[in-house]
């Protein structure tokens, strides 16, 4: 089972995104948080910034839309060539239709759940998604403390995927660090968003490698 690290630029130097992304060459993708100050109480960057950053890196883009009206916005990120587009279950009126549209445009479709949103209502739809993102903090701000109470939800999501025979990536986002990544991997996660842990490290790329190795050891020892 491969473990993928997708560092979030939310905690990087936003005035030098190209330079910051260049510091993580061994990352599996760049995680970009798009916030609209409506769905979450913060405002970050959008499609124009994503499009210009694409010219500066060969790394895939893992877009996390923390916005209202995901139904109309998500396909635009797929059209822009982002490898994976994540939308929130709480922000779409038609998750299956949206996932199919994202896939039709050539991107992976990913469903995100806030801490209070259960996975169970989506159990029958799981085959429509390439990935489920389980938020391990309340979305909106970087640097928050990891919520251990989300570990059972990761386990249940992995069990639902296994029971459905679906190849599903499970991504975790929020407070992921060397201290917490092992628990997430043991619970069944295999894609990890780390912001503060990576970009506040002395050597961000070395931290990407350390996180990946820590996750793999935990998954194998389990």
The one catalytic residue among 28, 62, 130, 173: 173
User: Any known ligand binding at 148?
Assistant: no
Count CB neighbours of 13 within 10 A.
Answer: 11
The one catalytic residue among 33, 36, 62, 130: 33
What is the C-alpha separation between 187 and 203, in angstroms, rounded? 28
C-beta of residue 165 within 8 angstroms of C-beta of residue 159:
no
Whose CA is closest to 84, among 128, 45, 29, 135?
Answer: 29
User: Any known ligand binding at 106?
Assistant: no
Sorted by sequence, the CB contacts under 8 Å of residue 203 that are 6+ apart come out as: none
User: Any known ligand binding at 174?
Assistant: yes
What is the C-alpha separation between 6 and 141, in angstroms, rounded? 17
C-beta of residue 70 within 8 angstroms of C-beta of residue 95:
no
Report residue 218 as tokens: 């935990």
Q: Is 13 marked active-site? A: no
User: Any known ligand binding at 88?
Assistant: no
Q: Is 173 marked active-site? A: yes
**Residue 28 main-chain phi, psi, to 5 deg:** -80, -25
User: Any known ligand binding at 64?
Assistant: yes
What is the C-alpha separation between 120 and 81, in angstroms, rounded? 31
Which residues are annotated as part of the binding site for substrate? Answer: 8, 64, 140-143, 173-175, 195-196
Which residues are annotated as part of the binding site for a divalent metal cation? Answer: 31, 33, 64, 173
Q: Which residues belong to the active site?
A: 33, 173
Which residues are annotated as part of the binding site? Answer: 8, 31, 33, 64, 140-143, 173-175, 195-196
């Amino acid at each position: 089972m491969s473990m993928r690290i997708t560092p979030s630029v939310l905690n990087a130097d936003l005035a030098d995104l190209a330079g910051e992304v260049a510091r993580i060459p061994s990352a599996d993708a760049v995680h970009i948080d798009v916030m609209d100050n409506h769905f979450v109480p913060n405002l970050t960057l959008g499609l124009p910034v994503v499009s210009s950053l694409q010219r500066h890196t060969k790394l895939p883009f893992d877009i996390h839309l923390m916005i209202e009206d995901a139904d109309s916005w998500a396909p635009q990120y797929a059209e822009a060539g982002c490898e994976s587009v994540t939308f929130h279950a709480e922000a779409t009126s038609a998750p299956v239709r949206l996932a199919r549209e994202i896939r039709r445009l050539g991107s992976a479709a990913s469903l995100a759940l806030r801490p209070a949103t259960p996975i169970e209502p989506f159990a029958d739809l799981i085959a429509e998604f390439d990935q489920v993102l389980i938020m391990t903090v309340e979305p909106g701000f970087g640097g928050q403390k990891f919520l251990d109470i989300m570990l059972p939800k990761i386990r249940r999501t992995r069990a639902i995927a296994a029971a459905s025979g679906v190849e599903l990536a499970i991504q975790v986002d929020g407070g992921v660090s060397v201290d917490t990544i092992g628990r997430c991997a043991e619970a069944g996660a295999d894609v990890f968003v780390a912001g503060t842990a990576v970009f506040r490290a002395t050597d961000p790329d070395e931290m990407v490698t350390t996180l990946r190795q820590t996750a793999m050891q935990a998954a194998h020892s389990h």
